[in-house]
């Protein structure tokens, strides 16, 4: 149940704020943000060691950021499947999906942010839908923008319920918080009230509303948030903060 939160205010000196929460099995190996891709030397992001891609990529020169979440729908054929971790790299580097064959990928939500535009592509295994996100606060979870992509049979499972509770808890609180304009200083100085949300807002990680979940799936493994990224886009640059220890206020480092 990854989550992406984006605030878009074209009138602000920092038009785009992006929170990227990555949820995964804790045993899945990854590397912290860096310039890991020789064929795309301008990109910065964490690297998934199994498939080689990323969950969030930043091009500081553009400036542009892209992040991917798992979606709901029909999976790609096993024999033709590509890793969704390729998508943020492609989008951060090019800002477009020209020539993409979405049928090679399992369902996804792909968010691309630039200082003057925020776009979301959603693929359910049948149709690829592009949305331009206007000014305001937007939350994307595995069942879509604001949780709008419901199951076809109309029956919510535990994941749907948890996503609904997460949205209901965090959305009004984020909307009421002072919007930061991150530039210099520590993560706390740069991100203000938003940092508390990125650290889980005090909710236990086992709470159904948790932004940073941690769940022991008996027999399968421990699954939950493995990292949190905070990205601020300005016309003249990027600020990128990263925490590999969700909920730990001392874990934040400034990547860019």
Q: What is the pLDDT of residues 120-157, one digit of tens each?
A: 999 999 999 999 999 999 999 999 999 987 655 555 56
Check: CB of residue 56 under 8 Å from CB of residue 45.
yes
Please, what are the domains in the chain? 3-254 (3.60.60.10)
pLDDT computed for residue 152 by the predictor: 52
pLDDT computed for residue 120 by the predictor: 98
- Of the candidates 67, 31, 26, which has an alpha carbon nearest to the alpha carbon of residue 49? 31
d(CA 16, CA 113): 7
pLDDT computed for residue 159 by the predictor: 76
pLDDT computed for residue 148 by the predictor: 86
Check: CB of residue 65 under 8 Å from CB of residue 58.
yes
pLDDT computed for residue 163 by the predictor: 92
Q: What are phi and psi of 171, to 5 degrees?
A: -60, -50
d(CA 100, CA 97): 5
Q: Report pTM.
A: 0.95
Q: CB burial class (10 A; 0-12, 13-18, 19+) of residue 84?
A: buried
DSSP symbol at 104: G
Rounded alpha-carbon distances, angstroms, from residue 241 to 150, 221, 233, 244: 32, 28, 12, 10
pLDDT computed for residue 9 by the predictor: 98
Could you say which residues of the chain have pLDDT below 50? none
């Amino acid at each position: 149940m990854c989550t992406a939160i984006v605030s878009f205010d074209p009138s602000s000196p920092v038009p785009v704020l992006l929170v990227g929460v990555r949820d995964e099995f804790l045993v899945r190996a990854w590397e912290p943000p860096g310039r890991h891709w020789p064929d795309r030397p301008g990109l910065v992001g964490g690297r998934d060691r199994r498939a080689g891609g990323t969950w969030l990529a930043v091009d500081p020169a553009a400036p542009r950021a892209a992040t991917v979440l798992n979606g709901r729908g029909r999976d790609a054929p096993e024999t033709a499947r590509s890793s969704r971790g390729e998508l943020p790299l492609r989008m951060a580097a090019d800002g477009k999906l020209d020539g993409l064959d979405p049928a090679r990928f399992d369902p996804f939500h792909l968010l691309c942010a630039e200082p003057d535009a925020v776009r979301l592509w959603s693929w359910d295994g049948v149709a690829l839908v592009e949305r331009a996100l206007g000014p305001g606060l937007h939350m994307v979870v595995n069942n879509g923008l604001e949780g709008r992509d419901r199951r076809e049979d109309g029956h919510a499972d535990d994941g749907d319920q948890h996503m609904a509770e997460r949205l209901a808890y965090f959305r009004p609180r984020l909307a009421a918080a002072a919007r930061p304009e991150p530039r210099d200083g520590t993560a706390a100085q740069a991100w203000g009230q938003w940092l508390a949300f990125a650290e889980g807002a005090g909710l236990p990680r086992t709470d159904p509303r948790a932004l940073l979940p941690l769940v022991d799936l008996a027999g399968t493994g421990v699954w939950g948030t493995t990292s949190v990224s905070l990205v601020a886009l300005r016309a003249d640059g990027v600020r990128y903060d990263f925490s590999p220890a969700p909920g730990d206020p001392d874990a934040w480092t400034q990547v860019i």
